[in-house]
Structure 1
Amino acid sequence: MAEAHQAVAFQFTVSPDGIDLHLCHEALRQVYLSGLHSWKKRFIRFKNGVMTGVYPGSPGGFMVVVVSYMSYNKYKQLDPSLGLIEKLGQHLPISQYMSTDSQRIVGGVLVGTGLWVSIIMIMRNVLKSLLSWHGWMQTRHGSVSWSTRLWMLLVKIFSGRKPMLYSFQNSLPRLPVPSVRDTCKRYLESVRPLMDDKQFERMKGLAEDFEKNLGPRVQWYLKLKSWWASNYVSDWWEEYIYLRGRGPIMDFLYVFPTHIQAARAGNAIHAIMLYRRKLDRAQIKPIYLLTNKVPLCSAQWERMFNTSRVPGLMLLHTIPMCSSQYERMFNTSRVPGVDTDTLQHMNESKHIVVYHKGRFFKVWMFYDGRLLLPREIEQQMERILADKSEPLPGEEKLAALTAGDRTPWAKARDAYFGRGKNKQSLDAIEKAAFFVSLDDTEQRYDLDNKIQSLDRYAKSLLHGQWYDKSFNLIVYKNGTMGLNAEHSWADAPIIGHLWEHVLSMDPIKLGYSEDGHCRGELHPSMPGPQRLQWDIPAECQETIEHSLTVAKSLADDVDCHIIPFDEFGKGLIKKCRTSPDAFIQIALQLAHYRDKGKFCLTYEASMTRLFREGRTETVRSCTVESCDFVRSMIRDETTEERLRLLKVAAAKHQNMYRLAMTGQGIDRHLFCLYVISKYLGEDSPFLKEVLSEPWRLSTSQTPLQQVELFDLVKHPEYVSAGGGFGPVADDGYGVSYIIVGEDLINFHISSKHSSPETDSHRFGSNIRQAMLDMLDLFQLDKKATK
């Protein structure tokens, strides 16, 4: 066992002659290598901090500026500083011990440094001003205005060379605060199709009263916060909204690299740790709105334009996005509180925790001063799988505490996990890089049983994890795997970026031997995993059982359904000269009306990462225009009229998405106004009613970001099912979709069995039919014949 191996590394005996120490040379070697690794990591972080802090400047630029300035001063016999160099040299604390030439050199270096810092600040602020302009979003298909071309050139010039992941953070603009009048106006416009005349007039009166009376006052405080804070939304949104919820992401659909559970875990864990190392060293490229040939978020550019065939290459690596969410991807846990949870992030973690058959194991990820190789990690997983020990009392279902109500978990944590072995074991979990579950069941996409196998697979990712960790890697008995992410620390594209890296590394770059094991050799003397120890009293076990009942009830109530929609994809939608995202959103409106016979308030997540610390904003996809189109599909309208209304609705959706991306959305603004009103002790009937409205259709797209990692033309089998989430309202639907390549769209649909109004399979059928009916309007077959 690992404990025994560590114990013999250091021994001593006490005798009349004193204390005789016996030190193990291997132990000393491991201490030295561990310390060396830590100091290297500290140096890299320090260097990256300096490089990011002075960007778009650089140490090389500093030398050029200072040396050029000193050379000009010396050889031209001119002093551009108008005597400042000489004065600085004379007034240095140690000037009396320096010669006149030395004083001039030091003074020149100080003036050159000031000039270098001034140049950096000017470039940074000019870039911030340039990135605050969003006129490029108005670019029409096939043309780019001269103003946009000039803007792109200036952004390129002031963006510097070789940026790192966090280089642009200080140059990103702040999220603007919309006016109260504009927000109220757009809100009323968004709810008009959902209210009759009497309801609308009442809501209009509440909005006008708020706009005239309380609105200006709370807006003043919000403006003040926007000047002081990096982002006026993110901290409140995280505290009051995001510290709940989680969603799973799935494996490849058609590729099964190995059937050996330990081997799949070995490659996946190694790939994740490689990603963390690149993240720590800021070696991940900055995240741009457009990357390599297509939009960063798969359809986020297409959401704004009629087609992806816009001059996107001209904007390649031009528009940076905020990278702050990447900071808490690893070594992060959500800590329960009686009133509110908090996020605990560690700067360094050298281990992971693995769960198998009710037992928890601590597994070190480094040995001999290096990261474990895939075969060595597989070796550790094999040891865990071979361990026949039984779970300790209360250990098997312990993770249920993180899945149930937060208050009982917070109280139990304080009462039973604050000292002794329970505290040590809980610390090991909460301070781990991430959590791994070796599941004892088998999950796989079965071509002979597509719907049921995918539904089971998706639902299995909702069970049995330590949900407080930033993410859980789940590896099933047959080698299939998935990811379950906690939502508070980041949004879906961030964890999706990691998952794409893992899927590209696993079968393609790391690979497996012919017998299915990881490549490489076993380690002859590596210590094994350490079993975590618990002493859980009966009272705590009762809390665990209660949390398990709550969690099981919630999980069992979720009705998951996945549709691999392969009748057509974005390739055919683009031929219709329509935004794929707008097309899908309008199809969801049509499907929902056919499913329930009514319209509902619809949430679509858009990103605001064009701004510093930006996260998401809401696009209210149910509009007057989309409702007009849906009614035309229900009524006996001509194809031409339906097509006209569809294009009007798509244009409206694109404009709304554009507003949301550029900080002109309404929901985050209304939320912050509500928070301030509560701090002021003011009661606003308007804000209270707005924030109490249920989102009965909540939608989001899982973006495929690093398309350069997957050649889906040559290898169409390398497609993932994407990710999903649960419904927001008890009587509503949650729909996530991923646009994969040109010919496949995967839909994740969720609802609750307990609601008599919803049925995920029925809604899935309505989505499929709506997509086909809308495509028929464009009559592409007839156009192709002509």
Structure 2
Amino acid sequence: MAEARSAVATPRVQKKDLGTTDSFDDLVKSYRQMIIRNYFRFRNSIRNGVWPTSTNNLGVACGFSLYLLEYEPASAHALTAHLKQAVAALPLPSKTPKWLANLVGSVGLSFVFFMILMKVRQYLLRILLAYRGWMYENVREVSWKNKLWGLTVKFVSGYQPSLYSCQRSLPRMPVPAIDETLSKLLDSLKPLCSEEEFKDYSKQAQDFECSIGPRLQRLLYLKSWWAPNYVSDWWEKYVYLMSRCPLVINSNYYALDHYIWTPTSRQVSRAANVVHSILSIKRQIDREELQPLLLRNTIPICMAQYERLFSTVRVPGEEIDELLHFDSQESRHIVVWRQGLFYQLGIYDDKNQLLSVTVLEKLFQDIIDDADKHKESVSESERSVAALTGLPRTEWARILRENFKSGINKDNMDLINKAVCMVVLSDKVPENLSEKGKMLLHSDGRTLWCDKSVNVFFFPDGQCGLNVEHSMADAPVMGHVWEYAMTMEVIERRYLDSGQVMPPPKSFKPGNVTHPRRIIWDITDSLEKQINKAYAFNQKNNDDLDLVIREHTKFGKGVIKKAKISPDAFIQISLQLAYYRHTGRFCQTYEASATRLYQNGRTETVRSCTEESSAFVRAMVSSKMSKEELLQLLRVAGIRHQKLYRDAMNGLGIDRHLFALFVVSKGLGYESQFLESVMRRPWTLSTSQQPQQQIQANTPDINLEPFRKMCSPGGGFGPVSDEGYGVSYMLPTEYNIFFHVSSKRSCPTTDSSKFADLIFKSMNDIRLLFDS
């Protein structure tokens, strides 16, 4: 047992730990690191506080006003006279030298001018960014009004903003009018309900609007005035942290690396390079050096979610989980998994430099060698501790409280919680793309530490991917970081011909490195039973997942755009046609849309099953209309979908507003049959388009032949409903589309392979309408 082995183990005390000189050196290094860290924090707080102005503006204003006061040029006589009057009014001693009075006056006046300019620009920019007319115009046919608006935004905005500089200038998300939300809701229910059900919903909606609805709405208005976002904190708390379902399949999602191309077949080399890229961008986030993303190279979006991407863990609670985030002072290591053994690996040398790729490559190989050597000497239960993180949250919280709150297990848990991320060095190679997706989403049931914000997974043949916890940030945020790591492998030479990593430049002077330390658990008999039970639960849960990843190669978004239809609308309508052919009915469909144009914005739902799309689907199935008539119905449905998607991005969706009303009603103790019935309706189809091309760099055109195989197929997630499908899709090039389709094998009416076939058939059939 691990308990006996750790009890007799000799403490690993180095000689230098007994001295005083090295301890003093460590203290000096720690103090220096603290000074550097506080400098960056102070600098960033100043830069973010004054943006879109700059402290350079203050310096220029001081220098210019001092020049006017000292030299009194004739060309600026009037302005100089006003400045001299202001200086004369200052409460300075009568014997103050003229040069000193001018200096104090120029600094004071420039500071007042600077503060006024800062506030004017901040409020003007917020007003400008609240305008949304630009979104409803075709990007290729921009009106003069919107061109002028865009130029004004660029003029008012500052230059070189840091990661969070734009946050203060972003508008707050508006609370939609309650009558508009109810009207949109009823429109979305028409194709899903019988005439009798729709009448019942209409009556309930009318009663709600005339009774408690306005009272709840007023409280939302009140919250929207003082909170950065009226719904995002509740969404995180009640949808994510209060969910008691296991994180595996139900919450966490996965992301794949390049499609066919792998830059090296060496596992440790790929791991060293990708981990180093992730750590580099993590340092940019810590120092706020990462540039904020801009839509159309003009409009900033909210970057708040980046703060908790790394060094974050979701700690289970018996009623509600807790998100813990650690700063770079506490989080200075990663935890590496191999053969069920965990290793603590420091990521900085004694010069406070990130470990180089060559050092990481060697340390990863050392970990593999040590784990493969000692795996047989460690009990099966100790190598399966990670299985506990796949349990339902209340059960895992109870086990955590009983077994991991003291002694060596508590220390180990603290190490994992404070790690930047988890790195998995697997010994299994996936057979195909679908198998790879399954291994990344749930692995074998005892490998992934599901509570960690990020698990970076490496296969023996050099392939890799991610498993990401969802509550701390949405997929586009992690997708941005992952795209950076993948793109750098394409545009830079990161590997030697042998497959090993490219060594750092000779100018890099590495410091001393702390070697990895194996983590040893204290496994009692009762904990061993719980681990084995958790592993069995996870295996059963994993076996129930039916995941298929397919590439559609007959055409991509290039053909769709030529037909003057939004590619996203085309795919969503194809999904409706596929589901109708599959079941003979329509279902409530969820498509995720981002609301990051607003402070702390996260997501909104696009209800993509509309009257217009259902009319087209019925017409396609009936085969009674001509191609021209069907094409007209298709374009009407596409326009409707685009309008709904843009409304959702603008905070004018349906479901976040209804959710917030529901939360307020529960908080006040009101019972609303209408809200209860609406919130209980299942999302049979849960869909999401994955973002791409988010990095702002001189990247090659992915549509060119050499680079098409280097694109990523994206990622996926499990089904939201046990009787439905989860569908994510990626349109990386003009020529192909990737689909990730998931469902439950235990449901007799779902089949991911069959549904994927129907999606492809529906897309190909719709394309025939405009093939000419």
**TM-score, length basis structure 2:** 0.90
Superposed displacement of residue 478, structure 1:
1.9
SS of 1:361's partner is strand
Q: Contact between 1:606 and 1:617, CA under 8 Å: does it hold in 2?
A: yes
> Which amino acid letter does the alignment assign opposite residue 714 of structure 2?
G
Specify the alignment match of 1:125 in structure 2: 123
Superposed displacement of residue 383, structure 1:
1.1
For the pair 1:63 / 2:59, whether they are aligned, the reply is yes
For the pair 1:344 / 2:344, whether they are aligned, the reply is no
Residue of structure 2 aligned with 1:286, choices 283, 286, 292: 292
Number of aligned residue pairs: give it.
Answer: 734
SS of 1:286's partner is coil
Residue of structure 1 aligned with 2:686, choices 684, 689, 698: 698
Q: 1:214 to 1:265 in 2, by over 3 A?
A: same
SS of 2:280's partner is helix
For the pair 1:645 / 2:623, whether they are aligned, the reply is no
Specify the alignment match of 1:51 in structure 2: 47
Specify the alignment match of 2:661 in structure 1: 673
Distance 1:207 1:82 in 2: 67
> Which amino acid letter does the alignment assign opposite residue 51 of structure 1?
R
Specify the alignment match of 1:373 in structure 2: 356
Residues 700-752 of structure 1: CA deviation (Å, up to 9, x unaligned):
01111236535321422211121000000000000000101111110000000
Q: Contact between 2:253 and 2:717, CA under 8 Å: does it hold in 1?
A: yes
Distance 2:343 2:205 in 1: 56
Gap runs ≥5 in structure 2: 1-8, 242-246
Specify the alignment match of 2:755 in structure 1: 763
1:133-212 equivalences in 2 (<5 Å): 133-140=131-138, 142-212=140-210
Residues 607-636 of structure 1: CA deviation (Å, up to 9, x unaligned):
111111111100000000000000011102
Distance 1:661 1:454 in 2: 29
Specify the alignment match of 1:476 in structure 2: 459
Q: Contact between 1:405 and 1:550, CA under 8 Å: does it hold in 2?
A: no
Specify the alignment match of 1:591 in structure 2: 578
For the pair 1:213 / 2:196, whether they are aligned, the reply is no
SS of 2:205's partner is helix
> Which amino acid letter does the alignment assign opposite residue 333 of structure 1?
V
For the pair 1:664 / 2:652, whether they are aligned, the reply is yes
Superposed displacement of residue 332, structure 1:
0.8
Specify the alignment match of 2:110 in structure 1: 112
Distance 2:496 2:30 in 1: 31
> Which amino acid letter does the alignment assign opposite residue 168 of structure 1?
C
For the pair 1:727 / 2:757, whether they are aligned, the reply is no
Larger mean Cα displacement after TM superposition, 548-557 or 680-689: 548-557
Distance 2:254 2:265 in 1: 21
Q: 1:171 to 1:485 in 2, by over 3 A?
A: same
Distance 2:399 2:602 in 1: 32
> Which amino acid letter does the alignment assign opposite residue 165 of structure 1?
L
SS of 2:492's partner is helix
SS of 1:136's partner is helix
Distance 2:239 2:13 in 1: 45
Q: Contact between 2:349 and 2:512, CA under 8 Å: does it hold in 1?
A: no
Distance 1:96 1:687 in 2: 73
Residues 134-183 of structure 1: CA deviation (Å, up to 9, x unaligned):
11122246422221111011101111122222111110000000011000
SS of 2:593's partner is strand
Q: 1:485 to 1:96 in 2, by over 3 A?
A: farther
Specify the alignment match of 1:14 in structure 2: none
Larger mean Cα displacement after TM superposition, 461-470 or 402-411: 461-470
Q: 1:96 to 1:474 in 2, by over 3 A?
A: farther
For the pair 1:612 / 2:625, whether they are aligned, the reply is no
Specify the alignment match of 1:314 in structure 2: none
For the pair 1:689 / 2:681, whether they are aligned, the reply is no
SS of 1:490's partner is coil
Distance 1:553 1:685 in 2: 36
Distance 2:611 2:643 in 1: 14
Distance 1:603 1:694 in 2: 10
Larger mean Cα displacement after TM superposition, 207-216 or 97-106: 97-106
Distance 1:34 1:141 in 2: 52
Distance 1:461 1:115 in 2: 63
State the identity as a percent. 40
1:211-360 equivalences in 2 (<5 Å): 211-243=209-241, 245-290=251-296, 317-348=297-328, 349-360=331-342
Larger mean Cα displacement after TM superposition, 70-79 or 173-182: 70-79
Superposed displacement of residue 414, structure 1:
2.3
Distance 2:700 2:443 in 1: 26
Q: 1:109 to 1:568 in 2, by over 3 A?
A: same
Specify the alignment match of 2:496 in structure 1: 513
Q: Contact between 1:3 and 1:530, CA under 8 Å: does it hold in 2?
A: no
Q: Contact between 1:701 and 1:738, CA under 8 Å: does it hold in 2?
A: yes
Distance 2:14 2:446 in 1: 37
Superposed displacement of residue 540, structure 1:
2.6
> Which amino acid letter does the alignment assign opposite residue 545 of structure 2?
V
For the pair 1:571 / 2:573, whether they are aligned, the reply is no
SS of 1:333's partner is strand
Superposed displacement of residue 185, structure 1:
0.4
> Which amino acid letter does the alignment assign opposite residue 346 of structure 1?
F
For the pair 1:497 / 2:503, whether they are aligned, the reply is no
Superposed displacement of residue 555, structure 1:
1.8
Specify the alignment match of 1:7 in structure 2: 14
Specify the alignment match of 2:6 in structure 1: none
Q: 1:418 to 1:463 in 2, by over 3 A?
A: closer
Distance 2:736 2:442 in 1: 22
**TM-score, length basis structure 1:** 0.89
Q: 1:523 to 1:443 in 2, by over 3 A?
A: farther
Residues 168-201 of structure 1: CA deviation (Å, up to 9, x unaligned):
1110000000011000000000111101111000
RMSD: 2.5
> Which amino acid letter does the alignment assign opposite residue 167 of structure 1?
S
Superposed displacement of residue 585, structure 1:
0.5
> Which amino acid letter does the alignment assign opposite residue 201 of structure 1?
K
Specify the alignment match of 1:633 in structure 2: 620
Superposed displacement of residue 29, structure 1:
5.7
Specify the alignment match of 1:440 in structure 2: 427
